[in-house]
């Protein structure tokens, strides 16, 4: 399956108390040619002042759905333990409709203890959070099939993480997009594990888009050769400097020339 190279922006909603600056950054990213604009699902900053300015993820996605026209939107990623999974499916369906079919439902097991403790969720252990994610995914997909009206399209499910024993089997069974971390060799190793787990459930690994953080032009071509087609640039407040995003979009455009007329 041939996939186009896509460039995303993860707008980290931290250290910027003026929501207007966030709104403006989304507009600038869409105008620059980004394919996707993500936020993240945390309640506190992950860097800098731990009690600094921060905004909530899914409320923001509803606003982005109205504000934008072309880009896909989503969370990179939703904390799996924060919300009832049936409610999360309904939230996703609603944002899907508001956006005209541009939502990506990103989800992971969650990891930042402060999010859980301060908001009254059970942090548990890494194993218990992954177990909960495994229980939630079939509930999410089942609820999406029951909602009325139905989503405007099959909402792509992005799963973040690379654990070979728990996360990758969930990716193989449920994901349309797999967002992973680590260097090139790590990605190749885990992609082999994903292929084996896909075979276990009767799926082709080519059905799953591969996504990684942007690591600069110097590393991009090798990652494409390893099967990656979605690269996401992360930017934090208060400045939201889009220099790296513009660089990545330029590289995408230089490496995504259309085929010659008459050739597939």
- Is the residue at 120 inside a domain? yes
Is the pLDDT at 6 greater than 80, yes or no? yes
Question: Domain for residue 262, yes or no?
Answer: no
Q: Residue 30: inside a domain, yes or no?
A: yes
Q: Is pLDDT at 257 greater than 90 in this prediction?
A: no
The pLDDT of 44-52, averaged and rounded, is 97
- The yes-or-no verdict on residue 32 having pLDDT over 70 is yes
Check whether 264 has a pLDDT greater than 60: no
Residue 181 included in any domain: yes
Range list of H helices, 100-240: 113-119, 126-146, 167-174, 184-201, 217-225
pLDDT of 260 > 80? The answer is no
Residue 263 lies in a domain: no
Domain CATH for 172? 3.20.20.30
pLDDT at 2: 79
Helix axes 57-67, 85-99, angle to 10 degrees: 20
Q: Is there a contact between 43 and 116 (Cβ–Cβ < 8 Å)?
A: no
Residues 6+ apart with CB under 8 A from 63: 23
Better pLDDT: 261 or 158: 158
Mean pLDDT of 112-134: 97
Tell me what percent of the residues of the chain surpass a pLDDT of 70: 97
pLDDT score at 1: 55
Q: Which two tokens stand for residue 164?
A: 């070979």
Domain range holding 137?
6-255
Chain mean position to CA 194: 18
Q: How far apart are CA 96 and CA 9, in angstroms?
A: 19
Q: Mean pLDDT over residues 184-208, rounded?
A: 97
What is the rounded average pLDDT of the residues 54-61?
A: 98
Q: Band the pLDDT of 228: cuts 50, 70, 90.
A: very high
Residue 260 falls inside a structural domain:
no
Q: What is the mean pLDDT of the chain?
A: 95
Residue 110 lies in a domain: yes
Name the percent of the chain lying above pLDDT 90. Answer: 95
Average pLDDT of the segment spanning 208-218: 98
Express each pLDDT in 159-186 by its tens digit. Answer: 999 999 999 999 999 999 999 998 999 9
Count of structural domains within the chain: 1
Give 85's DSSP letter.
Answer: H
Look at residue 1 and tell me if it is in a domain: no
């Amino acid at each position: 399956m041939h996939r186009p190279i896509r460039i995303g922006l993860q707008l980290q909603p931290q250290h910027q108390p003026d929501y207007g600056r966030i709104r403006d950054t989304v507009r600038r990213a869409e105008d620059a040619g980004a394919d996707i604009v993500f936020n993240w699902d945390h309640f506190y900053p992950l860097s800098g002042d731990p009690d600094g300015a921060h905004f909530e993820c899914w409320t923001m996605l509803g606003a982005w759905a109205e504000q934008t026209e072309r880009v896909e939107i989503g969370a990179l990623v939703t904390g799996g333990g924060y919300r009832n999974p049936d409610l999360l499916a309904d939230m996703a369906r609603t944002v899907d409709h508001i956006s005209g079919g541009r939502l990506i439902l990103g989800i992971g097991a969650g990891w930042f203890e402060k999010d859980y403790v301060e908001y009254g969720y059970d942090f548990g252990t890494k194993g218990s959070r992954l177990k909960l994610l495994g229980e939630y995914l079939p509930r999410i997909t089942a609820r999406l099939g029951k909602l009325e009206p139905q989503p405007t399209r099959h909402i792509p499910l992005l799963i973040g993480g690379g654990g070979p024993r728990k996360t990758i089997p969930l990716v193989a069974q449920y994901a349309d997009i797999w967002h992973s971390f680590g260097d090139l060799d790590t990605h190749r190793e885990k992609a082999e594990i994903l292929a084996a787990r896909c075979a276990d459930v009767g799926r082709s690994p080519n059905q799953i888009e591969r996504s990684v953080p942007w690591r600069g032009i110097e590393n991009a071509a090798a990652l494409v050769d390893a099967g990656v087609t979605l690269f996401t640039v992360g930017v934090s407040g208060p400045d939201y400097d889009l220099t790296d995003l513009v660089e990545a979009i330029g590289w995408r455009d230089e490496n995504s020339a259309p085929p010659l007329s008459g050739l597939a």
